[in-house]
Amino acid sequence: MSEAKTVPEASMVPERAQDNRDPVPGFDASSEGGPHALGVGGAEPGAERLSNVEAVRLALHEAMVADERVLVMGEDVGARGNVFLITKGFLEEFGAKRVVDMPLAEASIVGVAVGMAMQGLRPVAEIQFADFIYPAFNQIVGEAAKTRYRSNGDYSCPLVIRTPYGGGVHGALSHSISIEALFYHVPGLKIVAPSTPRDIKGLLTAAIEDPDPVLFLEHKKTYRSVKGEVPAGHFTIPIGKADVKKTGTQATVVSYGYNLHQALDAAAQLEGEGISVEVIDLRSIRPMDKTAILTSVRKTRKLLIIHEDNKFGGIGAEISAMVAEEALFDLDAPIRRLCGPDVPAMGYAQPLEDAFMISTERMRAAMAELVAF
Amino acid sequence: MPQLGETVTEGTVARWLKRPGENVDKYEPFVEVSTDKVNADVPSPVAGTIRELIVAEGETVPTGAPIAVIDEVGAPAAAPSPAIPTDKGGPTPLQQAAPRAETAVLPVPATTQRSNGAAVNGMRVSPAVRRLAREHAVDVATVHGTGANGRVTAADVIAAATATTTRTAPISPPAAVIPRGANEVERPSRNEPPPPVQGLIPLSPARRLIARRMVESKHAAPHAWTMVEVDVTDLWAWRMAEKDAFEREHGLKLTLLPFFMFAVTKSLRAFPLMNASFHENGIEVHASVNLGIATATDESLVVPVVRNAEERSIRGIALAAGALIDKARRGKLGVDDLSGGTFTVNNNGAAGSILSAPILVPGQAGIATMEAVVKRPVVRNDAIAIRSMMNVCLSLDHRVVDGAIASGFLADLKKRLEAMGPAGAL
């Protein structure tokens, strides 16, 4: 197990990456600058242009500075400064009591964090890769999510569990999966999956300040490939609010994570052909922003849901059911889902990974087809 | 395929009354449709010529599916109108403008291009299109579709609504919802093989419904059963005395059934819990007695209902029941004839049975049978006498009533039947 977790660090270094101090999966020099540039225009005074991974780091750092109860804990978060260098320098700055290297035991990482949270601290527990979260399932689902209910409100569990997820980085079987559908069935657990630096900063800050457990998902392929403006200083984005990232009239696309950026690219291409697609960034998976989705679907009357996670029982299934329940008579076409295939894992080989990941071209075709329906 | 009832999702074309090339008047029945609830003649939504019968006799299709194409009189030849009966739905501007319709079948004539070969697709409308078409009183069939394969999109409907005054579709008057008896149902089409003497017989809609309701009833209601024997010697004599005059006057045979129904009604008034329905939130005691009569037809079983039996004399019940049974045998019962029963009687004795354990009609607390009247030696005043005896069997919903009430009801019924005799008034 430990080997499985240390090997990828080295094996996932893109061969062309020159900086050995920054061996980060998901870093892809060829896509530096992002599949599209968010927040390029309209820079606010004092705004910084950051990558997603820098936004995570900034949010954590500000929270650590602002609130002594905040601490980070996880595998390699201390001396190593996190495998993506998110907490690099934190150990020196905040000390070992607030930057805690944990053993390779996810159940303990979350279990200890649950206890800390119940006793008044604000732990940010890290699962090094989402693929490793299974041992902590009981601690998350059975303990953290139920704390407030079980104690009749006497205790809450203000815990954040951060974890990088998603594929497209040659992470193969153990460093590629999406886990949102495994957890979104669970009441009492909030799940956030922002895709842009600004949203990451605002939502991670909100998650740390939230009185209840939040599973915070960071798509690792966007860590360095997506950059954007982040306003200076403290701000939060409410958990449970989606964001219309592009307005349109002929179909609604709901997505999140890396797929969101591809969907925006595809929609931008179609815009040039006179096809107008609205793209909603879900941002929060649970609570889900039904209002935003329904408002858009009632306008465009067509819905396409795109996510990298497997199709069967995925987030798209819940969105489809919700829209069918609430807005059937506004629908002018069957609800479509474009999702990861229902295979056990993402293969390492390029053709296998390509087959799993949804290409921008496929998104574009699906959007065009839905608008034409 | 029109929707002949709220829960009906499919219908079977029982018989085409018109053939391709034949003319049909507006509102003239052109097809007989059979569903698991009713049979009905469907009136033509337009006047014109039958161009094409899409669905074969005996074929079952979902409601809303096109079943025929009618070339409308006066319409351009290139634009024949497929008859698309819509479901009954809520009132729409279109329907409000139409004469009040008592029943459900509202076929809306439609003209659409069938030239692109995508007609079936073209006639499937999305929920949004259907809703918008109603809201804007747009006849979807007249809208030019810009979607894939010529599908009419929501945007097309809005464009049509804003563009011009749209053609409004005439609405047909209420269609006669007429269930048919077996003798008509089993009319086979010419090329159909005769029914097999062994092997699998396909379920008719009626058979399927009976099967479902029986299972429902047995599953939901814990049946209890009890029986009394009734001395009907005097009642029999009364009936024999009245029989000929009654038949002369009404053209109807006077059986024991109306006497029995009359007595059952009185007993139900004395034991109102027997005239009740079980619901999860309580027992609904019915204000009036609507007596169902289990009636066998050649292949089916129907239960027409004599309403407000408590307001009727024996003669009144006899006439009402006679009319219903006659309609049942001719397959002419309507939905109203079959709904609203609160208790059911079954004249099993007519076939010689002396004892039966009937299954409750779902939603009713009791069902009583009249068994065969047989002359038997019985003890009267410590002497053997030959009397006309009849068993009365009762199945009851044990959720609603317990044995004591059921026994009380039967004892009361027995007393009333035995008190009936030639001195009474019909």
Nearest residue of A to residue B154, measured between CA atoms = A332
pLDDT at B350: 85
Q: Give the mean model confidence (pLDDT) for residues A324-352.
A: 95
pLDDT-derived band at B79 (thresholds 50, 70, 90) equals: very low
Q: Give the mean model confidence (pLDDT) for residues B308-332.
A: 90
Residue numbers in B near A369 (CB within 8 A): 148
pLDDT-derived band at B167 (thresholds 50, 70, 90) equals: very low
User: Mapped to the 3 state alphabet, what secondary structure does A102-115 carry?
Assistant: CCCCHHHHHHHHHH
Residue with tokens 């996510």: A307
Q: How would you class B22 by CB atoms within 10 Å of its CB: exposed for 0-12, middle for 13-18, buried for 19 or more? A: exposed
Averaged confidence pLDDT in chain B? 80
Q: Indicate the SS3 state at residue B314.
A: helix
pLDDT at A225: 94
| Residue A158: pLDDT over 80 | yes
Asked whether B67 and B53 are in contact (CB, 8 A), the reply is yes
* Structure-block tokens of residue A276: 């107008």
Residue span(s) of chain A under CATH 3.40.50.920 come to 243-372
Asked whether B256 and B239 are in contact (CB, 8 A), the reply is yes
Which overall architecture, per CATH, does domain A47-230 show? Answer: 3-Layer(aba) Sandwich (3.40)
pLDDT at B37: 62
| Residue B118: pLDDT over 50 | no
Angle between helices B314-330 and B233-250 (to 10 degrees): 70
Residue with tokens 């408002």: A295
| Residue B259: pLDDT over 50 | yes
Q: Give the mean model confidence (pLDDT) for residues B139-156.
A: 88
The secondary structure of B257-303 as a DSSP string is: HHHHHHHHHHHHHHSGGGSEEEETTEEEE-SS--EEE-EE-SS-EE-
pLDDT at B7: 65
Asked whether A231 and A62 are in contact (CB, 8 A), the reply is no
| Better-predicted residue by pLDDT, B6 or A363 | A363
- Give Cα B73 to chain centroid, integer Å: 34
- Pairing state of beta strands B282-285 and B291-293? unpaired
pLDDT at B122: 43
Q: What is the DSSP letter of B124?
A: -
Give the integer Cα–Cα distance in Å for B207 and B393.
Answer: 25
pLDDT at B164: 54
CA distance B87 to chain A (A): 15
User: Of the candidates B127, B147, B151, which has its C-beta nearest A331's C-beta?
Assistant: B127
pLDDT at A99: 98
Say if domain A243-372 classifies as CATH 3.90.800.10.
no
Q: Do B148 and A301 touch (CB under 8 A)?
A: no
Q: Give the mean model confidence (pLDDT) for residues A296-311.
A: 97
Asked whether B122 and B129 are in contact (CB, 8 A), the reply is no
pLDDT over 90 for what percent of chain B?
41
Q: Give the mean model confidence (pLDDT) for residues B65-72.
A: 86
CA distance A370 to chain B (A): 9
pLDDT-derived band at B213 (thresholds 50, 70, 90) equals: confident
Q: How many alpha carbons fall within 13 Å on the CB side of residue A281?
A: 22
Q: Give the mean model confidence (pLDDT) for residues A134-153.
A: 97
| Residue B110: pLDDT over 60 | no
pLDDT at A127: 98
Phi, psi of B52 (to 5 degrees): -150, 135
Asked whether A305 and A338 are in contact (CB, 8 A), the reply is yes
Residues 6 or more apart whose Cβ sits within 8 Å of residue A97: A71
* Structure-block tokens of residue B102: 């008592």
Give the integer Cα–Cα distance in Å for B349 and B374.
Answer: 10
Give the integer Cα–Cα distance in Å for A247 and A266.
Answer: 13
Among B40-49, B220-229, B369-378, B400-409, which is the least confidently predicted range? Answer: B40-49
| Residue A155: pLDDT over 80 | yes
User: Of the candidates A328, A332, A369, which has its C-beta nearest B153's C-beta?
Assistant: A332
pLDDT-derived band at B331 (thresholds 50, 70, 90) equals: confident
Q: What is the DSSP letter of A145?
A: G
pLDDT in tens, B285-309: 999 999 999 988 776 788 999 999 9
User: Of the candidates B127, B130, B147, which has its C-beta nearest A373's C-beta?
Assistant: B147
Give the integer Cα–Cα distance in Å for A285 and A293.
Answer: 12
Q: Do A301 and B154 touch (CB under 8 A)?
A: yes
pLDDT in tens, A64-104: 999 999 999 999 999 999 999 999 999 999 999 999 999 99
* Helix extents (H) in A81-183: 90-94, 106-118, 137, 147-150, 180-183
pLDDT at B238: 95
Q: Give the mean model confidence (pLDDT) for residues B273-283.
A: 93
Among A333-347, B116-130, B339-353, B398-412, which is the least confidently predicted range? Answer: B116-130
Q: Chain A to chain B, count of Cβ pairs less than 8 Å apart?
A: 28
User: Could you tell me the domains of chain B?
Assistant: 10-178 (2.40.50.100), 205-419 (3.30.559.10)
Q: Indicate the SS3 state at residue A66.
A: helix
- Chain A residues near any Cβ of chain B (below 8 Å): 301, 328-333, 369, 372-373
Which residues of B are designated catalytic?
A: 398, 402
pLDDT at B334: 79
Q: Give the mean model confidence (pLDDT) for residues A135-139.
A: 97
| Residue B102: pLDDT over 70 | no
pLDDT at B153: 92
Q: Do B127 and A329 touch (CB under 8 A)?
A: yes
For B:155-184, CB contacts with A below 8 A are 155
pLDDT in tens, A26-66: 434 333 344 444 444 445 667 889 999 999 999 999 999 99
Phi, psi of B263 (to 5 degrees): -65, -40
Q: Do B148 and A373 touch (CB under 8 A)?
A: yes
Residue with tokens 């798509």: A219
Residue with tokens 């009609």: B361
pLDDT at B370: 94
Averaged confidence pLDDT in chain A? 90
pLDDT over 70 for what percent of chain A?
88
Q: How many alpha carbons fall within 13 Å on the CB side of residue B257?
A: 25
pLDDT at A29: 36
pLDDT at B46: 85
pLDDT in tens, A3-32: 444 333 333 433 333 344 344 444 343 333
pLDDT-derived band at B244 (thresholds 50, 70, 90) equals: very high
pLDDT at B172: 37
Among A181-190, A297-306, B55-64, which is the least confidently predicted range? Answer: B55-64
Phi, psi of A290 (to 5 degrees): -60, -40
Residue numbers in B near A328 (CB within 8 A): 127
Q: Do A331 and B148 touch (CB under 8 A)?
A: no
Residue numbers in B near A372 (CB within 8 A): 147-148
pLDDT in tens, B44-57: 888 888 888 888 88
Residues 6 or more apart whose Cβ sits within 8 Å of residue A266: A277, A360, A361, A363, A364, A367
Give the integer Cα–Cα distance in Å for B102 and B335.
Answer: 11
pLDDT-derived band at B98 (thresholds 50, 70, 90) equals: very low
Tell me how far CA of residue B280 lies from CA of A344, B311, B367, in angstroms.
46, 30, 21
pLDDT-derived band at B20 (thresholds 50, 70, 90) equals: confident
Among A137-146, A336-345, B168-177, B260-269, which is the least confidently predicted range? Answer: B168-177
Give the integer Cα–Cα distance in Å for B134 and A199.
Answer: 42
Residue span(s) of chain A under CATH 3.40.50.970 come to 47-230
pLDDT in tens, A185-197: 999 999 999 999 9
Which among A36, A170, A175, A234 is annotated as catalytic? A175
pLDDT in tens, B175-210: 333 333 333 333 444 444 555 567 788 887 778 888
Asked whether A307 and A273 are in contact (CB, 8 A), the reply is no
Residue with tokens 């966007």: A222
Give the integer Cα–Cα distance in Å for B130 and A371.
Answer: 18
A219 catalytic per annotation: no
pLDDT at B72: 82
Give which of A173, A113, A333, A211 is closest to B126, Cα–Cα: A333
Q: Give the mean model confidence (pLDDT) for residues A209-236.
A: 96
Residues 6 or more apart whose Cβ sits within 8 Å of residue B78: B115
| Better-predicted residue by pLDDT, B172 or A207 | A207
